[in-house]
Amino acid sequence: MKTFFVYIMSNKSRRIYVGSSSELQRRVFQHKNKWFEGFTSRYKFDMLVYIEPHSDPNEAVARERQIKGWRREKKLRLILSVNPDWADLSAEWEEDESWKSIPEAKARPVLRRRSGKS
């Protein structure tokens, strides 16, 4: 059975980003390596500070939207309830050989969004 995750990424200034993915290690790798231009690459989200597993993809997306709708204080309380030290929950992945097996682990430039303008 596949697992779907709601996650929160942070950076050194404790800005937060809420997302969901069925491939958490891959998605975290993409955030840490600024794969996509935009909010997450601009603010250098490089710490995974919260993970919440779900067995149903619709449930995960609904929970992601719910958390995104919360005020910052409530999101911070959620993080602190399970990770009071703001530890990077993915730090040990980088030492694991399986992290290197992620296809994206090879150097790759930031992907730019195409604007609709010619």
**CA–CA separation, 37 and 65 (whole Å):** 22
- Span 45-101, pLDDT tens digits: 889 999 999 999 999 999 999 999 999 999 999 999 999 999 999 988 776 665 555
Q: Which of the four pLDDT bands, split at 50, 70 and 90, describes residue 106?
A: very low
All structural domains of the chain with their residue ranges? 4-93
Burial class of residue 113, CB neighbours in 10 A (0-12, 13-18, 19+): exposed
- Span 9-55, pLDDT tens digits: 999 899 999 999 999 999 998 888 878 777 776 778 889 999 999 99
Superfamily of domain 4-93: GIY-YIG endonuclease (3.40.1440.10)
Average pLDDT, the chain: 83
Side chain identity at residue 66, one-letter code: Q
- Res 112: pLDDT: 45
**CA–CA separation, 44 and 31 (whole Å):** 8
